[in-house]
Structure 1
Amino acid sequence: MTPAADETRLFECETCGGVGIGHNRPTCCGDSMTGVGTTETAVSKPSLETLLQTVFDMSGTELDVCLCVMEGGELTVTALAEQIGYERSVVARHLNHLADLGVVEKRRRIRPEGGHVYVYTPQPPEVVRERLRGEFLSWVRLATAQLDDLQREKVEAIADAETDERQWTVFQEQ
């Protein structure tokens, strides 16, 4: 199956094993990277909810909060909590995470009667898409490093084996 010209593709460097994602063939180690086939795979296409949960640690509740801000414009935590029926602390936590992701902008506003309040404003859709894409690519880089570590640990365990017993186990973070 040949990908469409405007389809995002996956590439791999034959020299170092680096991975590239894009529309055009990137270069690495001085050569063009090789396109990775997109035929059958054991991995199923993730739903948007699965993608948001896995990569961005975004729950269904946080997605609700995000969509409400996108639709509602500038909102305070209190106004949004009343609008969607979630506890104020839950809404505040999710809005802060969305601000960290760059999906919403958090600004402090001085109140005329004194004190201040934070207001949250949605970023334009193209900014949201680029921020999430950047975070996703960072996640892919970190996930690839985890797989590289797994392979390194396996090879080292086999190389260090002094017996015929099975030496390799999957290492998990404690």
Structure 2
Amino acid sequence: MSHRDDDTRLFECDDCGALSVGSGGISCCGSAMAQIDSAGDAGSGRDPADDRDSAAAEPIPEPALDDLLRVVFGMSPAELDVCLCVMEGGTLTVAELTDRVDYDRSVVARHLNHLASLGVVKKRRQILDRGGDVYAYSPEPPEAVRRRFHEVFLSWAATATDKIDELSREKVEGIADADAGSATQWTVFREP
């Protein structure tokens, strides 16, 4: 994990092993949680070798920005192109963006609406001199975009953690059911 400008870190409860992401002062089981890093439990004083094999103790590769945006925010490569174009180009209409990114107008409009719902771009109606109106899209301030992405990511991470916990429960229940005579739901693969 690289050093970040903010203080967001990973913490673990020494009592129950619960994990949390935050900037410190996080409590669990009545006491402060200990900071840990991506390579092990250096902040908590625990030896990472106690419960992880050497392969798991290797540093976790940093995710690429496009991977994060694709997975967490549901952005396609085309939507990322549209997003970056607005960030670099300032206030633009759908027609102007369509000329710059070489995607169909309906695709650009759909992506811009999604980006507006994410809080990445502002959508406002602009009255034209010749009559009528058009939507214009402009980037939100960088700090607002970072904060919004941070909020959505942490919400996504909490949901992902719940899914992992659910998977763990399902695995235990599957093993218990297999022991009770039902069909095996989980297979353990071992290297020869």
Q: What range describes the TM-score normalised by the shorter chain of this pair?
A: 0.7 to 0.9
Match of 2:27 in 1: 27
Match of 2:180 in 1: 162
- In 2, Cα distance between the equivalents of 1:69 and 1:5? 25
Change (3 A) 1:88 1:143: same
Match of 2:76 in 1: 59
For residue 9 of structure 1, what is the amino acid of its counterpart?
A: R
Unpaired runs of at least 5, structure 2: 40-56, 188-192
Does the 8 Å CA contact 1:5/1:23 hold for their aligned counterparts?
Answer: no
TM-score (ref. length: structure 2):
0.75
Most deviating of 66-75 and 24-33: 24-33
Match of 2:153 in 1: 136
Most deviating of 160-169 and 96-105: 160-169
Q: 1:86 aligns with which of 57, 82, 103?
A: 103
Q: How many residues align?
A: 168
Alignment of 1:38 with 2:44, yes or no, is no
Equivalent position SS for 2:11: strand
Match of 2:113 in 1: 96
Most deviating of 5-14 and 65-74: 5-14
- In 2, Cα distance between the equivalents of 1:77 and 1:119? 7
Match of 1:172 in 2: none
Equivalent position SS for 1:64: helix
Residue 25 of structure 1: CA displacement?
3.8
Does the 8 Å CA contact 1:12/1:20 hold for their aligned counterparts?
Answer: yes
Unpaired runs of at least 5, structure 1: 170-174
Change (3 A) 1:164 1:42: farther
Change (3 A) 1:5 1:60: closer
Does the 8 Å CA contact 2:11/2:21 hold for their aligned counterparts?
Answer: yes
Q: Aligned Cα RMSD in Å?
A: 2.7
Change (3 A) 1:5 1:105: closer
For residue 72 of structure 1, what is the amino acid of its counterpart?
A: G
Match of 2:124 in 1: 107
Change (3 A) 1:84 1:6: closer
- In 1, Cα distance between the equivalents of 2:16 and 2:106? 46
Match of 2:8 in 1: 8
- In 2, Cα distance between the equivalents of 1:47 and 1:68? 18
Q: Deviations over 1:109-145 (max 9, x none)?
A: 3445443321111000000000000000011001000
Change (3 A) 1:41 1:56: farther
